Amino acid sequence: MKGTEADALGTYSAWILSRRRTLSKESAILKVPVEEVYAATNNLHESNFIGQGTAGVFSGNQQVAIKHNTNEGCAETFVREVGSLAHIRHPNLVALLGYCESEGECFLIYELCPNGNLSEWLYGKDNVLSWIQRLQIAIGSARGLWVVHAYPGGCIVHRDVKTSNILLGANFEAKLSEFGLSKVMNSDGSYASSEARGTFGYVDPEYQSNRLVSAAGDIYRFGVVLLQILSGRRVINMNMKKPMSLDKIVITIPCVFSFFLVWNNNSNNSSFIVEQAKSLTKYGSTAEFADPKLHGEYSVEALKLKFELALSRMALKQKRPSIGQIIVKLEEALDISTRTKASSPDWSLVP
């Protein structure tokens, strides 16, 4: 199997030559000839390929991530990513270092994040993130989102915030990635989309009904991510051989919370993580929502604060907190947890 055949979209690590080619006078992004990309990756050789889909890596002297896209229409996502990240640098955003475009092929060159993505750590069999690490990752992700929402050139709405798009650096610092669906907002802060865009389970129900793209949609998506960080649960667990498209789900499920309520023959496997969380607020304890892999090593007070914070993002758009307010609350939860850990060896017994 050749690396180029493994998937139309792959990510590779490679050595990039040191001489700089700027995209523009204002940008530090390199424009790299396609010949250098192929030379640096040994013609995308399979020996260095370590993943499929949106993740795959090629080794070299200096490791970076190179996303290779040959899908039809790849130019649209290519332009979006370059446009969104060309002028922004922040520790909690994956750094776009260069690009290459050549006859139906698009390459984007990023810094390499050696610890993979958040999804791998939440759902990997042997990978366990501590409570403190989870809070730090949540804070870092929120800060990255704040940077793009507050961009002086116009609010950048990510539109695909999810655990697999939160990369982890060498010290597990969170870096928001994958801006292929992003949209720069106009002065009124909204944009009418002709079609539903995003990932199943993360999309704001209000966006499903009115197609208005706004920063509030990212807040909703981030709330879902927080619930995943808390619980270690997937967004949805369904025994479906073929998932439906977003538009088809809206048509077939006549409910304003169509992304919260999905039914199949096995009721134990049909609930969204959001619906599970809401049920606990009525019939159970928030502690029941904690990831069992934490083995009780967390602050109950901080867990409750973060749980309530996550659910507040599921409110109607005008009632959702801003990303700045979210960061303040998450930092409060981290402070509580740090003090609790220092004062008690048994976290979960401390209210």
For the stretch 128-149, what's the b/e string if a residue is b when 16 or more beta carbons lie within 10 angstroms of its beta carbon? ebebbebbbbbbbbbbbbbbbb
β-pairing, 174-176 vs 166-168, is: antiparallel
Return the biggest CA–CA distance within the chain.
61
Residue with tokens 């009525």: 282
Instruction: Assess contact for 327 and 150: CB atoms under 8 A.
Output: no
Question: DSSP string of 28-64?
Answer: EEEE--HHHHHHHTTTT-GGG----TT------SS-E
Radius of gyration in angstroms for the set of CA atoms belonging to the chain, rounded to a whole number: 21
> Choosing from 7, 160, 204, 218, which is the catalytic residue?
160
Contacts of 303 (CB under 8 A, 6+ apart): 230, 286, 287, 289, 290
Catalytic residue check, 160 = yes
Q: Which residue numbers are catalytic? A: 160
